[in-house]
């Protein structure tokens, strides 16, 4: 049976937060597996952090193409990172793993228009079959023990945002825009650096970064309250907030790209990283971080 997190209705903030905090550790990617990926060399034989980031950007492009919600993308990234941290896969299988995680997330997020597996394969220009995808989906679910709907950073971000809005006047509410915060989270999802960070910490760090950027000094006490209730150390929050700022700066100044199919085959054949770098192609429909309303 697929494990799910019930949608709270009129549940007090503290109860919702405790429920998410109680579960987030169980859904974290395995650190040992992430370290193996982080230390892997770009030789086409092992999964690397760079290839993981390329795949996440592909999933983000597909999310935008189909018009799926942010929940679907955030859950797909969670599934992908959890699976990669417990299974050693070859780079040539990454696109199948990524698309299967995306498909599972689509169905788990209860999207209105769920595309057929064949349509996903066609749009993503993948070279595996529907049967390949169905087999891989079964493997992913079994390795994750059918625990699908993880407490993602997006769930924490929305919960924190709703809590903090209660402390703001109308003008300040416009400055702390949830769409902008979600776009910032999507950018962070595209960086392997955040895979080791707890969802609650990442969500609060994004919120703290935006509070700092917008100069909302009146929220300092509320932010401290959230930090205390989430059992987050001040030093950890500062470090991750700075990491978020660095990520967003790089994201806004760097063209998002991934290796072409031809180049990926070269990489698998043991070609050099320089050859890989020369054949990246741009992904359309990646999110821009909206400006704050004046």
Question: For the chain, which domains are there?
Answer: 29-149+258-282 (1.10.472.10), 153-253 (1.10.472)
Q: What is residue 279's predicted lDDT score, i.e. its pLDDT?
A: 34
Strand partners, 282: 257
Q: Chain-centre distance of CA 139, in angstroms?
A: 21
Q: Are 83 and 144 in contact (CB under 8 A)?
A: yes
pLDDT at 286 over 70: no
Asked if residue 76 has pLDDT above 70, the reply is yes
Contacts of 289 (CB under 8 A, 6+ apart): 180, 183, 184, 187, 248, 251, 252
CA dihedral 99, 100, 106, 110 (to 10 degrees): 170
Q: How many residues does the chain have?
A: 294
Q: Is the confidence at residue 166, as pLDDT, over 80? A: yes
Segment 226-252, tens digit of pLDDT = 999 999 999 999 999 999 999 999 877
Phi then psi for residue 3, to 5 deg, are -75, 135
Q: Residue 105 burial by CB count (10 A; 0-12/13-18/19+): exposed, middle or buried?
A: buried
By CB atoms closer than 10 A (0-12, 13-18, 19+), residue 113 is exposed
Provide the H-helix boundaries in the chain. Answer: 13-24, 31-39, 49-66, 70-84, 94-108, 117-123, 130-143, 153-165, 170-175, 178-189, 199-214, 220-229, 234-253, 261-268, 273-278
Which pLDDT tens digit goes with each residue over 176-224? 889 999 999 999 999 999 999 999 999 999 999 999 998 888 888 999 9
Closest-CA residue to 98 (of 54, 154, 36): 54
Residue 225 clears pLDDT 90, i.e. is over it: yes
């Amino acid at each position: 049976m697929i494990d799910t997190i019930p949608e709270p209705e009129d549940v007090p903030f503290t109860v919702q937060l405790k429920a998410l905090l109680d579960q987030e550790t169980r859904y974290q990617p395995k650190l040992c597996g992430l370290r193996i990926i982080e230390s892997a060399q770009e030789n086409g034989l092992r999964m690397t952090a760079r290839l993981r980031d390329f795949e996440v950007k592909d999933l983000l492009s597909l999310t935008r193409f189909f018009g799926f919600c942010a929940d679907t993308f955030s859950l797909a990234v969670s599934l992908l990172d959890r699976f990669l941290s417990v299974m050693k896969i070859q780079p040539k299988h990454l696109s199948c793993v990524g698309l299967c995680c995306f498909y599972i997330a689509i169905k788990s997020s209860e999207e209105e228009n769920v595309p057929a597996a064949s349509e996903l394969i066609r749009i993503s220009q993948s070279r595996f079959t529907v049967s390949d995808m169905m087999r891989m989906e079964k493997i992913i679910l079994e390795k994750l023990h059918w625990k699908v709907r993880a407490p993602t950073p997006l769930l924490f971000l929305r919960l924190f945002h709703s809590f903090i809005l209660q402390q703001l006047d109308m003008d300040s509410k416009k400055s702390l825009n949830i769409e902008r915060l979600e776009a910032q989270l999507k950018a962070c999802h595209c960086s392997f650096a955040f895979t080791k960070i707890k969802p609650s910490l990442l969500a609060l760090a994004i919120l703290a970064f935006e509070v700092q950027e917008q100069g909302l000094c009146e929220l300092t006490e509320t932010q401290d309250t959230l930090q205390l209730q989430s059992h987050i150390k001040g030093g950890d929050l500062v470090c991750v907030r700075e990491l978020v700022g660095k990520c967003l700066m790089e994201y806004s100044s760097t063209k998002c790209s991934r290796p072409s199919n031809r180049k990926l085959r070269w990489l698998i054949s043991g070609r050099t990283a320089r050859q890989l770098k020369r054949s990246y192609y741009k992904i359309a429909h990646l999110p821009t971080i909206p400006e704050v309303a004046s």
